[in-house]
C-alpha cells in the first residue's frame, strides 16, 4: 500500500461504522466504471477497494469523502445474515450505491444486490426503507431498537477473534473457526509439552526439536507466507504457542456453544465442555 493511498483512506470520513478496520492486505483495483471506495466483507475482514487513477489518489476532496451507512443484521433462527451498506463513488460524489448482501452464517453461500442512484438522498431513503422492512425499526431511531418476531436485529461486528488468530500466523483457510477441534488442540498441547521437555533436557537433540516442531504445525496449520516455519527451540516461543492454543480453545468453546444452541441441542453447552 503506497503512503498516498494510506493517507487518502485515513482521511476519509467514516460515519455509522462500528468495528470498521482497513485491512493492510486490502486489494487496490481499478474498477471498470471508475468507482472509488467499494467496501465489502470477506472471511470476517472488511476490505476497501480503491481505484488508482492518478489524480484521484491521493488528491481526495474532503467534501467528497465516503459516507457509509453500515449495519449487520442477523436472525439466529434461520442462521442468515444481511449486510446493508451504502457507499458513495468518487466519479460522481453525489451518487450512492445501497447494497444488500444475503448469506447463510458460517458458509460462503449467498448473493449480493447493488443499486446505484445519482441522488444521495434517494439512496439513503432506500437504505432506510430496507432497514425498516427487515427490522421493523426506523434507522433514525435505532438507538432504541426493539426486537420484533420474525424480524432481523442488529449484531455488532467484531473482528477480534480473527485478528487474534492472524496475529499468531494461523492459516484461516486450512483451519477456519468452524473446523476447530478440541481433540486436535489438546494434541497440540501434548506436542508443546514434549518440546518443553526437549529444550530443557541436558542433551539437546536438534533433530528431534525440528521434527516435533513440524508435528505441531501439522496439528495447527500456520501461514508463514514466504518465511520458513519457526523452530520452536526456546521457552518464549513455546509459551507464545501455548497462549495461542488457549485462545483457540476459548474460541472453539464459544463457537460450539452457539452451534449447539442453533441446532436445538438440549444439553447445556457448558456441561458438554466441562
Q: Are residues 164 and 145 in the same domain?
A: no
**Which pairs count as long-range contacts for 100-106, CB under 8 Å and 24+ apart, including other chains?**
100/130, 101/40, 101/41, 104/79, 104/80, 105/74, 105/79, 105/80, 105/81, 106/79, 106/178
Q: Are residues 166 and 269 in the same domain?
A: yes
Q: For the chain, how many structural domains are there in total?
A: 2
Rounded to two decimals, the pTM is 0.36
Handedness of CA 71, 100, 153, 140 (dihedral sign): positive
Top-confidence residue, 251 or 105: 251
Q: Are residues 138 and 91 in the same domain?
A: yes
Mean pLDDT of 88-100: 50
Flag whether pLDDT at 55 surpasses 80. Answer: no
Mean residue pLDDT across the chain:
61
Q: Ranked by mean pLDDT, which of 19-23, 70-74, 95-99, 204-208 comes out on top? A: 204-208
> Which structural domain, as residue segments, surrounds residue 227?
160-273
Q: Are residues 148 and 20 in the same domain?
A: yes
Amino acid at each position: 500500500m503506497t503512503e498516498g493511498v494510506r493517507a487518502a483512506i485515513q482521511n476519509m470520513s467514516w460515519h455509522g461504522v462500528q468495528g470498521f478496520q482497513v485491512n493492510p492486505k486490502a486489494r487496490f483495483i481499478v474498477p471498470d466504471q471508475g468507482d472509488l471506495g467499494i467496501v465489502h466483507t470477506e472471511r470476517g475482514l472488511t476490505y476497501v477497494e480503491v481505484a488508482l487513477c492518478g489524480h484521484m489518489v491521493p488528491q481526495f476532496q474532503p467534501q467528497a469523502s465516503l459516507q457509509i451507512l453500515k449495519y449487520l443484521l442477523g436472525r439466529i433462527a434461520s442462521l442468515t445474515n444481511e449486510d446493508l451498506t451504502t457507499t458513495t463513488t468518487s466519479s460522481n460524489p453525489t451518487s450512492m450505491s445501497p447494497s444488500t448482501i444475503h448469506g447463510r452464517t458460517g458458509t460462503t453461500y449467498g448473493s449480493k444486490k447493488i443499486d446505484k442512484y445519482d441522488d444521495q438522498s434517494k439512496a439513503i431513503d432506500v437504505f432506510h426503507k430496507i432497514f425498516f422492512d427487515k427490522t421493523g425499526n426506523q434507522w433514525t431511531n435505532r438507538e432504541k431498537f426493539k426486537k420484533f418476531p420474525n424480524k432481523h436485529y442488529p449484531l455488532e461486528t467484531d473482528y477480534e477473534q480473527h485478528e487474534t488468530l492472524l496475529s499468531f500466523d494461523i492459516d484461516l483457510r486450512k483451519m477456519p473457526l468452524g473446523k476447530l477441534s478440541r481433540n486436535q488442540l489438546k494434541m497440540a498441547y501434548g506436542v508443546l509439552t514434549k518440546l518443553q521437555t526437549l529444550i530443557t533436557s541436558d542433551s539437546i537433540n536438534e533433530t528431534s526439536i525440528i521434527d516435533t516442531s513440524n508435528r505441531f504445525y501439522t496439528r495447527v496449520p500456520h501461514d508463514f507466507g514466504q518465511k520458513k516455519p519457526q523452530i520452536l527451540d526456546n521457552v518464549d516461543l513455546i509459551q507464545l504457542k501455548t497462549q495461542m492454543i488457549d485462545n483457540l480453545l476459548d474460541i472453539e468453546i464459544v463457537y460450539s456453544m452457539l452451534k449447539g444452541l442453533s441446532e436445538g441441542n438440549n444439553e447445556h453447552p457448558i456441561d458438554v465442555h466441562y
